[in-house]
């Protein structure tokens, strides 16, 4: 029983320390490298299978429905899905430069979409 209590305490300490150590972490596999919409569409199927996160920089130019938007960069447009809890508190419009971090969702019939995990403003880290 004493070993069990020690393991529970150790697990709790590790959990607390991991929260502090990764406070700035922005998701698995996220690098500082930006991807273009053209590259996302070209490699959509393998990106979907890998569950890798991509970072795209551009503008949300219109809202299609409650959680689907059209995103544009200099290479093209793609639909993005953004849950309400992922929207930033800071207001933005079609002229606000954004960095979207998310997973690529590819469907042969419905095309390519990015499921957004995080929205950053370029002046943020």
pLDDT at 33: 83
Residue 86 lies inside a defined structural domain of this protein: yes
Residue 56 lies inside a defined structural domain of this protein: yes
Residue 77 lies inside a defined structural domain of this protein: yes
Taking only the tens place, the pLDDT of each residue in 29-44 is: 445 688 999 999 999 9
**Total structural domains within the chain:** 1
Taking only the tens place, the pLDDT of each residue in 7-37 is: 444 444 444 443 333 333 344 444 568 899 9
Residue 4 lies inside a defined structural domain of this protein: no
pLDDT: which is higher, 29 or 115: 115
pLDDT at 124: 61
CATH code at 79?
2.40.50.200
CA 79 – CA 7 distance, rounded (Å)? 46
Residue with structure tokens 């320390």?
Answer: 17
pLDDT average, residue stretch 42-65: 94
CA 54 – CA 90 distance, rounded (Å)? 22
Residue with structure tokens 């370029």?
Answer: 122
CA 106 – CA 112 distance, rounded (Å)? 5
CA 56 – CA 80 distance, rounded (Å)? 11
pLDDT at 104: 96
Taking only the tens place, the pLDDT of each residue in 80-108 is: 999 999 999 999 999 999 999 999 999 98
End-to-end CA distance of the chain: 46
pLDDT at 24: 39
Task: Burial-class residue 52 by CB neighbours within 10 Å (0-12, 13-18, 19+).
Answer: middle
Residue with structure tokens 């500082």?
Answer: 32
Residue 103 lies inside a defined structural domain of this protein: yes
Residue 97 lies inside a defined structural domain of this protein: yes
Range of the domain at 101: 27-120
CA 81 – CA 71 distance, rounded (Å)? 10
Is 41 in contact with 72 (CB distance < 8 Å)? no
pLDDT at 45: 92
Residue 43 lies inside a defined structural domain of this protein: yes
Residue 12 lies inside a defined structural domain of this protein: no
């Amino acid at each position: 029983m004493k070993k069990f209590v020690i393991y529970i305490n150790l697990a709790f300490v590790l959990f607390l320390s991991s929260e502090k150590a990764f406070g700035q972490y922005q998701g698995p596999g996220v690098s500082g490298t930006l991807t273009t919409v053209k590259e996302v569409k070209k490699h959509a199927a393998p990106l979907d299978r890998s569950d890798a996160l991509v970072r795209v920089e551009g503008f949300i130019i219109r809202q299609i429905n409650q959680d689907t938007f059209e995103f544009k960069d200099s290479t093209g447009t793609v639909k993005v899905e953004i849950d309400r809890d992922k929207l930033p508190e800071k207001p933005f419009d079609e002229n606000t430069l954004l960095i979207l971090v998310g997973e690529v969702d590819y469907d042969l019939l419905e095309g390519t979409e990015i499921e957004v995990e995080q929205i950053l403003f370029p002046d943020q880290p």
